[in-house]
């Protein structure tokens, strides 16, 4: 986990070059990452997701793939969204741009994601059982059904970010 500011303020997750994935904790053992004996690994399946977000089956749940680019990503609980750092001069500048960017974003199509509870955000190449000591963060989501929408925004001349908003539709 990368920290650009004071510890505990915002925790950023980075990947080694592929997509990030948010896997429900209840099914972490079923995510094999780049390992496995299958022709196409779980990581390969995640790499096939086209666009900013996609869903993949994992065990009896689905995981949310943050596709497109391996940008540093944080979950901002106060905003109910993942923020992906594409370009900014500082973390403060990027975080200050989130509220106005959210208000003016051209949101993409809505996807529905059912979540049994907390998820772990990490590099899709890692197996769910091997996260100790890796770049990952726990996102404490309430169980339920979420509407997921993504947008790429440029709130300033040198600031670009991707937003993935999660809105609870129906608590479980």
Residue 15 lies in a domain: no
Residue 101 lies in a domain: yes
pLDDT at residue 108, as a whole number:
95
| Overall number of domains in the chain | 1
Q: Could you give the strand order of the β-sheet that contains 53-58, starting from the edge strand earlier in sequence?
A: 53-58, 61-66, 20-24, 119-123, 136-139
The Cα–Cα gap between 17 and 94 comes to 22
Its pTM stands at: 0.91
The Cα–Cα gap between 28 and 42 comes to 12
User: What is the domain extent for residue 35?
Assistant: 20-171
Residue 10 lies in a domain: no
Residue 8 lies in a domain: no
Residue 5 lies in a domain: no
pLDDT at residue 163, as a whole number:
97
pLDDT at residue 2, as a whole number:
47
Provide the pairing of β-strand 81-87 with 159-171.
antiparallel
pLDDT at residue 37, as a whole number:
67
Residue 70 lies in a domain: yes
Residue 2 lies in a domain: no
The alpha carbon of residue 80 and the mean position of all alpha carbons in its chain are separated, in whole angstroms, by: 12
Per-residue pLDDT of the chain (172 residues; tens, 9 = 90+): 444 445 557 999 998 888 999 999 999 999 999 986 667 799 999 999 988 999 999 999 999 999 877 899 999 999 999 999 999 999 999 999 999 999 999 999 999 999 999 999 999 999 999 888 778 999 999 999 999 999 999 998 999 999 999 999 988 8
The Cα–Cα gap between 43 and 20 comes to 10
Contact 79, 89 (CB under 8 A): no
- Report how far apart, in Å, the C-alpha atoms of 80 and of each of 30, 51, 63, 126, 158 are: 26, 20, 17, 25, 24
């Amino acid at each position: 986990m990368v920290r650009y500011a004071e510890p505990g303020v915002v925790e950023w997750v980075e990947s080694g070059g592929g997509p990030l994935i948010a896997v429900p904790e209840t099914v972490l053992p079923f995510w094999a990452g780049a390992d496995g004996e299958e022709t196409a690994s779980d990581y390969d399946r995640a790499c096939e997701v086209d666009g900013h977000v996609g869903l993949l089956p994992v065990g009896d749940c689905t995981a949310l793939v943050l596709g497109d680019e391996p940008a540093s990503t944080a979950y901002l609980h106060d905003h109910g969204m993942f923020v992906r750092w594409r370009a900014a001069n500082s973390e403060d500048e990027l975080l200050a741009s989130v509220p106005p960017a959210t208000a003016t974003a051209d949101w993409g199509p809505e996807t529905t994601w059912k979540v049994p509870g907390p998820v772990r955000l990490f590099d899709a190449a890692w197996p769910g059982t091997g996260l100790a000591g890796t770049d990952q963060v726990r996102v404490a989501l309430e169980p339920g059904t979420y509407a997921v929408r993504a947008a790429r925004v440029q709130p300033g001349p040198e600031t670009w970010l991707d937003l993935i908003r999660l809105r609870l539709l129906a608590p479980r």
